[in-house]
Structure 1
């Protein structure tokens, strides 16, 4: 069971890394254009963590456990009036 889980995690990590490095264009949130050069863009950025431990858990200290949680969440608002003037706000 542990070997299958490790193999699945390795395969998933390889696929995700390969997908990120494949040269795909970056996509962001919705873009609202106004005027000739102006735009406003909204974006949400999330960072999650997945942790698997196969030692030291449970009553007798031999159980495994998996933890999944959201480490960071960020809202980003970017706006440009023209090529020179713009603003970016993140929370």
Structure 2
């Protein structure tokens, strides 16, 4: 997936038109490291453990954000009917 991009293009984004944000770079690195390798290099157990923890926290954060979002929507709809 990222084989055509160099490590510098992935890890050091420029900040101009069409450049990647830090969040996009982090997403690409997390996506590219699923199989225990990143750009052909094997990742250590510590790195893979840190990746699993980071992904878990991302899912927890996303879930909590959705709960707050739906609570706000529900509150808005309930107050709109009164």
Q: TM-score, normalised by structure 2?
A: 0.29
Larger radius of gyration: 1
Which has the larger strand fraction?
Answer: 1
Higher relative contact order (CA 8 A, sep 6+): 1
Which has the larger helix fraction?
Answer: 2
